[in-house]
Amino acid sequence: MSKEASLLNAAATGVFSALFAAISFGPVLSQDVSERNRITARGSHYTVVKDPSKKDGYLKCVYRNEKEFLCPGAAEFIAFEKHIKTKDYDLIVLSTGQLGSGTRWWDWMIVVEDGNKAVVKTLADGCLECKIDVELLKFGSNRVDFAYRQKGHRISAHFRDGALSIRKSKLDPHEPLDQGTCGGLYEKLEACKSKPNSVDCTMRDNTADNFFILRTEDHYAGISSEVLDLQCKAACTTGKAVDRSTFFKQVCRR
């Protein structure tokens, strides 16, 4: 190898090594939280503890540096979900609500920590099995965008240098359902054929199925649990269900 080629190769190796180090060992700016009841943000320590003011001891609070910080009231659980870092702020996304298989409407909040003080901002109220996504993260300009679906709407939350604004827009009624959700709905319709004249002629035989239907109705526009139940009752009565391709086209818009 010539001297010039060696120099070029060494330079390229140095650039690659620096890039690899930045990718592998640089700061993680946004991550899901593994330990959901304890987190440190800009030197402040947050822990989820039992509410000391309640004798029964099953309600929860958040303590910051061993002092009471947030007690949502009827919170049977509080869980730290995401930890997001910008130049001047750490954002802790948390969920809170009641336990039990029949309760899946939860509240979501953001703790905004700047190293000196912390404030709590509402992200979502009573959201059914919410999936909060981080769609934009600009470290240097303290910008973070969140998005989730609720009650047939797309909710966008925009964090800008300490302030949070919420915007809501209707979901597209022609948006195709995802493959897994559509397949799940059709499997439940097929099962209706095996329940002729049954008083239990419904796609919602159990808690899990009920929330699957409710979540689909909540997260997509133009999906009605009442219409799905009518299709199930028709299949119960006739012993026949619409074929898969027709169901995917008419119901799932695929």
Q: Where are the beta strands (DSSP E) in the chain?
A: 30-32, 38-41, 44-50, 60-64, 67-70, 77-85, 90-97, 105-113, 118-128, 133-138, 143-150, 153-160, 163-170
Whether the per-residue pLDDT at 144 is higher than 90: the answer is yes
State what percent of residues in the chain have pLDDT above 90: 69
Task: Give Cβ neighbours of residue 221 (< 8 Å, ≥ 6 apart).
Answer: 152, 170, 171, 172, 173, 175
Please state, in angstroms and rounded to a whole number, the distance separating the CA atoms of residues 214 and 105. Answer: 11
Whether the per-residue pLDDT at 79 is higher than 70: the answer is yes
Q: Tell me how many degrees the CA angle 40-136-159 measures, rounded to the nearest 5.
A: 65
Comparison of pLDDT for 105 and 32, the residue scoring more: 105
Mean pLDDT value of segment 83-106: 94
Comparison of pLDDT for 248 and 15, the residue scoring more: 248
Mean pLDDT value of segment 202-218: 93
Of 2-16, 34-48, 131-145, 149-163, the one with minimum mean pLDDT is 2-16
Please state, in angstroms and rounded to a whole number, the distance separating the CA atoms of residues 117 and 115. Answer: 6
Whether the per-residue pLDDT at 42 is higher than 50: the answer is yes
Mean pLDDT value of segment 195-207: 80
According to DSSP, residue 180 is labeled H
Please state, in angstroms and rounded to a whole number, the distance separating the CA atoms of residues 44 and 194. Answer: 58
Whether the per-residue pLDDT at 125 is higher than 50: the answer is yes
Whether the per-residue pLDDT at 6 is higher than 60: the answer is no
Mean pLDDT value of segment 203-230: 93
> Nearest CA to 157 among 199, 125, 182?
125
pLDDT of residue 86: 97
Comparison of pLDDT for 40 and 36, the residue scoring more: 40
Mean pLDDT value of segment 28-39: 75
pLDDT of residue 202: 87
Comparison of pLDDT for 74 and 70, the residue scoring more: 70
Mean pLDDT value of segment 91-119: 95
Please state, in angstroms and rounded to a whole number, the distance separating the CA atoms of residues 63 and 23. Answer: 33
Give me the count of residues in the chain. Answer: 254
Mean pLDDT value of segment 44-64: 87
Mean pLDDT, rounded, of the chain: 87
Return the percent helix, strand and coil in the chain, to nearest 5: 30, 35, 35
Domain boundaries, the chain: 27-170, 179-250
- Please state whether beta strands 153-160 and 143-150 pair in parallel, antiparallel, or not at all (unpaired): antiparallel
> Nearest CA to 210 among 107, 98, 147, 128?
128
Whether the per-residue pLDDT at 16 is higher than 70: the answer is no
